[in-house]
Amino acid sequence: MSRLQEPAELEWTAFRYIAGELSPADVAEFEQRLALDQNAREAVASAVQMAEAVAGLQPAPLELAPTVGDQNPRRATGAALVAAATCALVLVGTLILDRVSSSGPHDSAALQANDGADQLLNLWAASHDGLDVWADADEGDAPITGSDEEFAVPSWMLAAAEIDATGQWDSAPDGEAAPVEQLQHN
């Protein structure tokens, strides 16, 4: 560390000094300088005041862009829509298969219905595991993350999984799927 420093260099050294980022040897040398050089003392005071001002600010006014790991809402929404559409198609297919199988013996129909429901749930889980497949490659390398609520299995899928062996769609009066508890009591 040179004794003769430009103002910018001195500011930088002073900042690293107050931040505890100088080596012990550099600290000793800088503190020797502080004993003699008013410019160095002023630089330390200025660095502390600047840090103090920054530390006292609130993050919001600075409008910092998200760092790596932050969620990209547009990408996540798009991927979720694709996943939902895929599951809806699977559901329709499962219902058709279910109705066809309902003409057979009761036990066989129930077995097939359960298989369909398992497939449906497995596909849903698989589609969420693979969300990154639909992510834009040029929008950062952060994995998509989401809350449990966001990726919860929707009620209509749970209702589909509970369709009885007759293939009847047990729906609520308003046309929505009945709650799981109600279906389980049927």
Give the binding site for other proteins (CB under 8 A): 8, 11-12, 14-15, 17-21, 31, 34-35, 38, 41-42, 44-57, 59, 61-62, 64-65, 67-68
To the nearest whole angstrom, how small is the minimum distance from the Cβ of residue 4 to other proteins? 18
Which is closer to other proteins, CB of 43 or CB of 90? 43
Rg of the chain over all Cα atoms, to the nearest angstrom: 32
Q: Which CB sits closer to other proteins, 70 or 176? A: 70
Q: Which of 138, 156, 149 has the alpha carbon at shortest distance from 74? A: 138
> At closest approach, how far in Å is the CB of 140 from other proteins?
10
Mind giving me the DSSP string for 6-73?
-HHHHHHHHHHHHTT-S-HHHHHHHHHHHHH-HHHHHHHHHHHHHHHHHHTS-SGGG-PPP-TT---H
Q: Closest approach of Cβ 63 to other proteins, in Å? A: 8
Residue nearer to other proteins on the CB measure, 18 or 144: 18
